[in-house]
Chains A and B, each alone.
Chain A
Amino acid sequence: MDRTKIDLWVGIFAAIGVAALLGLAMKVGNLTTSNIGETYTVTAGFQNIGGLKPRSPVKSAGVVVGRIDAIQFDSATYEARVTLKLDKRYLFPKDTFANIYTAGLLGEQYIGLEPGGDEDYLQENDKIMQTQDAVVLEKMISQFLYSKATETKE
């Protein structure tokens, strides 16, 4: 086999190999969706975050408006302090409600933002005051069983 033919084949091989890597990054991975451009940071405190993880999405009306940057334990208030990075294009009122939801029955958990009616918007490093914790299935079941047990006693 002569030199130019080998060069050609190796060139094609390298091109499709690099294309596959780019395809993995763009089509399969989240390289295109993860950088949402300019962001601002707000925090929220939760009693229980359930299975929330860093990089989980933050949605409002079902649209991804940001991602969770970090989750820490606040030893002063014994709460989980969740840092959210929100897209600069989307502004939310100061009395926005932050809930932890689950996508489907067994899906990943995310934060859903429900805008309130305040005229001022959340600024950089503000804290979301109203939050609702993750639903812990075991707790719900035990409450249900407990209420059933007290019902039958009466």
Chain B
Amino acid sequence: MRGETGRANLFTRRAFIVGGAQALLTAGLAGRLYQLQVVESERYTVLADENRINMQLLPPARGRIFDRFGRILAENRLNYRLVVVPEAALDLDAALSKIAALVTIEDHDRERVLREARRKEVFVPIMVRENLTWEEVSQIEVNAPDLPGVMIDVGRRRLYAFGADTVHIVGYVGAVTESELTDDPLLSLPDFRIGKNGAEKTLETSLRGEAGARQVEVNAYGRVIRELGRRAGRPGDDHMLTVDLGLQQYVAARFGDESGSAVVLDIHSGEILALASLPSYDPNMFTAGISNQQWRELISHPRFPLSNKSITGQYSPGSTFKMIVALAALEGGEVSPGHRFYCPGYLELGNRRFRCWRRHGHGHVAMVKGLTQSCDVYFYEVAKRVGIDRIAAMAERFGFGRTLDIELPGEKPGLVPTSDWKLAAIGEPWQGGETLVVGIGQGYLLTTPLQLAVMVARIANGGIAVQPRILGETIRDGQPLAPERPAFPTMGMSPAHLDIVREGMLNVVNDPEGTAYRARIEEPTLAMAGKTGSVQVRRISESEHRSGVVKNEDRPWKERDHALFVAYAPIERPRYGVAVVVEHGGSGGSVAAPIARDILREVQRRDPSARAPLLAPAVRPSESA
């Protein structure tokens, strides 16, 4: 039994050693737990929250765009989308077939859905089709019991109610490209749209608003379990434009099939009342998804519907520039208003003969007659005396040669040539003959229709350096934000000189000898004053001159002259200015002037500047279809 006792004692000693070891190991576990749960607890708590809490952006409603009378130009419509949740639909292919029996689904959409379904988690809804009509929505809803996992989801879609009439002003929205990404997280949302052109682009940050967010708890697979919190965003600001939609539509309609541009503005405030570029296109094509063919047609169209010709089209001003030449001479004192030059139908300089548009000449011509009959020789003579640099200086005072900072993207500066410019840009000294050509608004000179409208406004308003603008009030939460609008400075022109130029413009339309007499407005209270311009787009050769001028109408469209007309009305206390460019239209007097006349008659009838602009409704109307 001694052996048995020894064995027991040995065992007991060792058993207590093991028991102690167990206690120590347990203490070790507790120590480790203390380290994790107490010492490092904070760090792991943060990690746990990062695990489970997802931020989801709530895109704000994009601000709406109104015309000056509160007519809605760009708004958000509900976009009914058909989505399917693969998990709930069980057999996705069969579900798609059932859907296809109710609403049309393109084959490529079907393939895309199946492709996306393989890539995404089974509970992520996949968009099958968007822009469902009411009939389609009700078809789906009625058959809902047969269509597990198929749902109608409501998104927002931008709608341009007057599409093609306003696209060059309002612009359109489109998907965000890589280069447009900023630190605004909204831009990364797959469905997000930003302004791509027009006011939509200029006003992007203001229209966009601020994203709201909701915090949701998700599980390890990303499924939303519940909403933890929500921060309301701020909807985008609404914006009024200075444009009068009715006038805008009138201008577009008046152009008919002609291409070109017209700008109508208030000569005192600079508010653009209409800004048309033709032909146009419907921006709703872009939001609804444009087909490849439609896109190719748009970009290869010979009349460039995509470009906003009012601000990006650069044309020689032609004879509409003669007011500038006249004013340069008057202000500089080189030519007195009564000084007469003789026009035999041409002017010879060196060995070159510069022709007047009237082959047989105008005879003795003073300034008012020169403008009335648009005598080229008279302005050759004037330009020769004034010189290119003084003409250029006067042109720049009237807004030519630089952008006018209209609030639309893509504005072009045009070009006012000087002797220095030619030396720098072409590397050759200025030639005297080139001054003569600029004197009748041709040569290197390039202007935009907007610049022509501003020129006529500054002449008509008595030499106030009015600046054009197209943005009206910003409306945030139903309250207009009134921006500071400083008064325009005077240009310091002599009123007498402006009177002479205006008398010439009056006669252009109202004197039987005037180049646009047939386009006059006969109601005396509405009567207009203006100036014609016709611009050759190709050089007419000497042989053609000898064989007799080929009539415009007989030439291919692309080779016909541009027809221009600038005008203001009424004569007494003028209010409205207009510039019309009809591309390859023919002569300014016979093509552009009648359009300008009708526009001026319409704008005076509507008289948008005299009517108080209406604010957009303070309460957003429901954004339902």
Determine if chain A interacts with chain B: no
